[in-house]
Structure 1
Amino acid sequence: MDFKETFFISHGPPTALTDKSSPVRHYMESWKEKILRQKPTSILVVSAHWRTAEPSVNVVDRHDTIYDFVGFPECLYKLKYPAPGAPELAKRVKEVLMASGIKCVAEDNSRGLDHATWVPLMLMYPEVDIPVCELSVLTDKDGTYHYNIGKALAPLKEEGILIIGSGSTTHNLGSRLESEDGSFSSCAAEFDDWLKEALLTGRFEDVNHDEEKAPHSKRAHPKPYHFLTLHVAMGAAGENAKAELIHHSWSQNTGRSLAAYKFMTSA
């Protein structure tokens, strides 16, 4: 089994697990029926919530659940997603990245799954029976570097591995829609519209240089981590890939677009 698809998802707030009206919850719950019917042998999630100086993979047998969020209902801190680890996948990730010219790929033998991974997977694969590996994003590298990481990971699709970048299409928690003039709402929407048009028309190189090409890039992403995961998913799709919007909604009372994209390798 092999995959032609890779995915970027905006993981949204952890309240998607308890809010039955959440649009993010609805499309993630329908994942296996409407988006990807093949069951992956394992899942590689590039997480916006794991930031390191060098590429890092977690090499564990069974995952702990990391509650890397504050101020949410107490019930969310009691949820568990004890997914099996994927040590062999972690080794493969390290192998292909180092073969691409990256000199050092670190192994973390204790890290569990942060909420960029376990929250969406709890909705997408609630059976908790698929091995999972996380890959970090890099604190001092740009979109093009992460795109090239994705290109190096592309062969893993042929091994039945599902590659997901988990972040957010826009992410500026310091600017709320409650602002008096609603300025960030407009900025976020303009960036979101630009990204959609660029992806759907195949202008991936413009996306790799969003800070120069996109309107309001710095306001949409004051820190790039939630967007860097998209570059990895985009690169892992391979040459001549096509993008498809599979979900779009906005997080209530914030300037966060929760768009999700599928990248499909062309024939």
Structure 2
Amino acid sequence: MMDTVFISHGSPTMAIDESITARKFLKTWQQIFKERPKAILVISGHWETKEPTVNVVNRNETIYDFYDLPEPMYKLKYTPPGAPLLAKRVKELLMENGFKNVHEDKTRGVDHGAWVPLMLMYPEAEIPVCQLSVQTDRDGTYHYNLGKALAPLREEGILIMGSGASTHNVGTMRPGGSPAPSWALQFDTWLKNALLEGRYEDVNHYDSRAPYGKMAHPWPDHFYPLHVAMGAAGENAKAKLVHHSWDHGTLSYASYQFTAPK
């Protein structure tokens, strides 16, 4: 029975910037998360669609979905095998659980919300990877239920990984080394306490129940991957904070692991 995880992937430059603390954490991933998955399903904040969509490819190409970054970023490649059978299974589970319109994308590779953390976690790029999109016009409960539908994958050796950010307001980012402002600290602490106390319903309604919810996430794309990982683990799952650090003042790299009761 696999745990589910939520990774705050932060800045794309984590792939090359050794000063980012979260990079060191992800490079030790296989020492922490010892069970090797058969395949990885990534829900990334960088793939938004109107309805749930999976990428159905035999080999994932590297998507450079960023701009004005250092030249070395555009030379990196992470091309793990695709997981077409997993993609079909995801579609099947979602449709069985009321998500009637689930689509297949037969050309899309992996965006940086997937490949930046994965190249640090599993640098050999041998584990098949499938991506599932988020729907930013829906709410946290919708994505929690999306995750619940995917729960059987945990028994099939699949790592369900949400990749986004615990706080994501890029307009408020400060120079590296800047202290976190009060609003970011308050939201980040509220989220940690809510998860560790199992108050998942509060997290589903973070926009109305959390302090500075809209400030921390003016657009929900990077937060909904957490709801999917949380839902896939089940309502009685125990959350564990596996990493915490800050960068650029307002960018929290808090990452969580969810373990269902045995």
1:228 correspondence with 2:224: yes
Partner of residue 195 from structure 1, selected from 182, 187, 191:
191
Q: Is the 8 A contact 1:17 1:123 kept in 2?
A: yes
Could you say what the CA RMSD is over the residues aligned between the two structures, in angstroms?
1.2
Tell me the residue number matched to 1:169. 166
Gaps of 5+ in 1: none
Q: Show the 5 A alignment for 1:43-58.
A: 43-58=40-55
CA contact (8 A) 2:42 2:160 kept: yes
Contact 2:200–2:235 at 8 Å: present in 1 too? no
Question: Does the aligned pair in 2 maintain the 1:177–1:185 contact within 8 Å?
Answer: no
Show the 5 A alignment for 1:126-205.
126-177=123-174, 185-205=181-201
Within 1, Cα distance between the matches of 2:173 and 2:92? 42
Q: Which residue of 2 aligns with 1:106?
A: 103
Q: How does 1:85-96 map to 2 (within 5 A)?
A: 85-96=82-93
Q: Secondary structure at the match of 2:137?
A: coil
Match of 1:266 in 2: 261
Matching residue of 1:60: 57
Query: What is the distance in 1 between the residues matched to 2:126 and 2:148?
Result: 27
Q: Show the counterpart of 2:37.
A: 40
Distance 2:216 2:197 in 1: 21
1:136-187 C-alpha deviation (Å, 9 max, x unpaired): 0002110000000000000001000000000000000111346xxx8x8211
**TM-score, structure 1 normalization:** 0.95
Number of the residue aligned with 2:252: 257
Consecutive unaligned residues in structure 2, runs of 5 or more: none
Aligned to 1:149, the other structure's residue is in SS state: helix
Percent identity between the two aligned chains: 60
Contact kept in structure 1, 2:173 and 2:251, CA below 8 Å: no
Cα distance between partner residues in 2 of 1:140 and 1:176? 25
**What CA distance in whole angstroms lies between the structure 1 residues aligned with 2:231 and 2:143?**
8
Report the equivalent of 1:20: 18
Range moving further from structure 2, 254-263 or 163-172: 254-263
Segments of 4+ moved more than 4 angstroms: none
Q: Secondary structure at the match of 1:189?
A: helix
Deviation of 1:254 after TM superposition, in Å, equals 4.0
Partners of 2:48 and 2:134 within 8 A in 1:
yes
From 210, 229, 247, give the equivalent of 2:206. 210
Residue 121 of structure 1: how far off its partner (Å): 0.4
- Give the TM-score normalised by the residue count of structure 2: 0.96
CA distance in 1: counterparts of 2:66 and 2:246, whole angstroms: 19
Amino acid of the structure 2 residue aligned with 1:186: S
* Residue of structure 1 in register with 2:234 after alignment: 238
Residue pair 2:39, 2:159 contacting (<8 A) in 1 also:
yes
Separation in 2, partners of 1:214, 1:175: 19
Distance 1:172 1:226 in 2: 10
Partner of 1:9: 7
Question: Which residue of the partner structure matches residue 81 of structure 1?
Answer: 78
